[in-house]
Structures are given as structure tokens and as C-alpha cells.
Amino acid sequence: MSEKASDVIFVGNKPPMSYVLAIITAFSSGAQKEITLKARGQAITTAVDVAEITRSRFIKDLKVTKIAIGTAEMPPREGENRSRMVSTIEITLSK
């Protein structure tokens, strides 16, 4: 029996409430015990907001079980000649 990998929600530039809704939906389906929010760069602040809003306002027994931070190398943008480093975060929420 392999343990099902936790659901992953990639946080981008949608408003935080749309991610909060995705978390609530995933947990209310009953199958999910753990959800990981992944974000990088400017979206990190949104990911932290989403985790806190969900915990404080909607699912009171939600726990932040793991936070992993790191750096990802992104390919150069159009007109740039060097790749750039972008911060990443993974926040794991469990019931």
C-alpha cells in the first residue's frame, strides 16, 4: 500500500480567497488529510496569507506541519543573458 501523495496547490497571482476556497474544497471532500501550498517569488506572501486566512477563519483545527524554503534557478527572461535565482516556499497544512 503506497501512501497517497499530498494534494499540491500552486499559488500564483489569483486573489488569496480563490486558493483558500481550493483548500476548503479539498479538505471537505474528506479524502484529503494534507495539502501543500507551493509558491515562488512574489507569490510567497500570498501563500502565507492563504495559509493564515484558512487557519484562522475557516478550518480552526488546521495545523501547519511543515514549511520548506529554497531557491530555484529560473531561465533568463527575454533579453537577459543570465539565469536568475527565485525563492521558493512549500507550506504543508494538515487536519
Does pLDDT of 66 surpass 90?
yes
Q: Which domains does the chain have, with CATH numbers?
A: 7-94 (3.30.110.20)
18 alpha carbon, distance to own chain's centre? 12
Q: pLDDT > 70: what percent of the chain?
A: 94
All 3 cell numbers of residue 52? 493564515
Mean pLDDT computed over 82-92: 95
Record the pTM: 0.86
- Residue 30: pLDDT band (50, 70, 90) is confident
How are strands ordered across the β-sheet holding 84-94? 7-10, 34-40, 84-94, 63-74
Does pLDDT of 6 surpass 70?
no
